[in-house]
Amino acid sequence: MRDVQQPQGTVVVTGGSRGIGAAVVQALAARGVPVCFSYATNREAAEFVAQQAADLGTPVLAVRADVSDEADVRHLFARAEELGPVTGLVNNAGVNAPAACVVDIDAARVRRLLEVNVVGAFLCAREAVTRMVRAGGGTVVNVSSRAAVLGSPGEYVDYAASKAAVDALTVGLAREVADQGVRVVGVRPGLIRTDIHATAGDPGRVERLQRSVPMGRGGEAAEVAEAVVWLLSDAASYVTGTTLDVSGGR
């Protein structure tokens, strides 16, 4: 069996300051892959992740950039090129909202979820793919959610819909650029222990729901990161236009 080739070039990870994104940054840095990651507001968390990667001797850049802001996204990719050609993107930055039924959801909430989770993913994919085609290839990994399939009734159908849009981006963009050396794939995490649940007002969510997971437990951010790293690697060279569930069977 041939060796698993890690990405050559720089990988951009959005939302790398905490949770799944931070675990992806750590997993790539441990393999010596240069990483440029974004964060929204939490500079302290970003500096901690950057220091951990730097301690491994891997070039890393932390850039404050809101993925829903076009100028910020352009700035993020310009900074990433300081580390070398961009050949990987992990479209990870995402937000959720407190549990609510569709009949109680207002326009501002839906717009915010779509702005960050969908518009952000499209803007970053555009900047990445433009550069990857120029560089002769690359891989985009979109971080979706099992919510896209389960629909999240009584919790956040709007969030689920935003992730279903991400899944459609994976399929459509993959087919647009498959003959230009660019792969577009996704992961659908299930219940993963990160801050996102507390931020959406439900800190005990994973503990409460983990019995509904066939494997009987919540997942760790590092377990999602390993799937992302594999999808980015040359070991996944014939995989495109598809999304992998990382959800303990849920």
Catalytic residue positions?
Answer: 159
Sites for ligand NAP among residues 200-219 (CB under 6 A): none
DSSP structural state of residue 237:
T
**In the stretch 19-58, what mask flags binding to ligand NAP with x, by CB under 6 A?**
xxx----------------xxxxx--x-------------
Residue found by looking up tokens 């577009």 in the block: 184
Minimal distance in Å, beta carbon 10 to ligand NAP? Answer: 18
How many angstroms separate the first and last alpha carbons of the chain?
A: 32
Query: 242 with 178: CB under 8 angstroms?
Result: no
Q: Binding of ligand NAP at residue 240 (CB under 6 A)?
A: no
Q: Binding of ligand NAP at residue 156 (CB under 6 A)?
A: no
DSSP structural state of residue 146:
T
Q: Between 10 and 92, whose beta carbon lies closer to ligand NAP?
A: 92
Q: Binding of ligand NAP at residue 73 (CB under 6 A)?
A: no
SS3 64: strand
- Please give the full DSSP string across 76-135, using - where no structure is assigned: HHHHHGGGS-EEEEEE----------GGG--HHHHHHHHIIIIIHHHHHHHHHHHHHHHH
Comparing C-alpha atoms, which of 124, 162, 175 is closest to residue 11?
124
Minimal distance in Å, beta carbon 174 to ligand NAP? Answer: 19
Sites for ligand NAP among residues 167-196 (CB under 6 A): 189, 191-192, 194-196
Q: Between 141 and 191, whose beta carbon lies closer to ligand NAP?
A: 191
Residues of the shown chain interacting with ligand NAP in the complex, contacts defined by CB under 6 A: 14-15, 17-21, 38-42, 45, 66-68, 92-95, 116, 143, 145, 189, 191-192, 194-196, 199
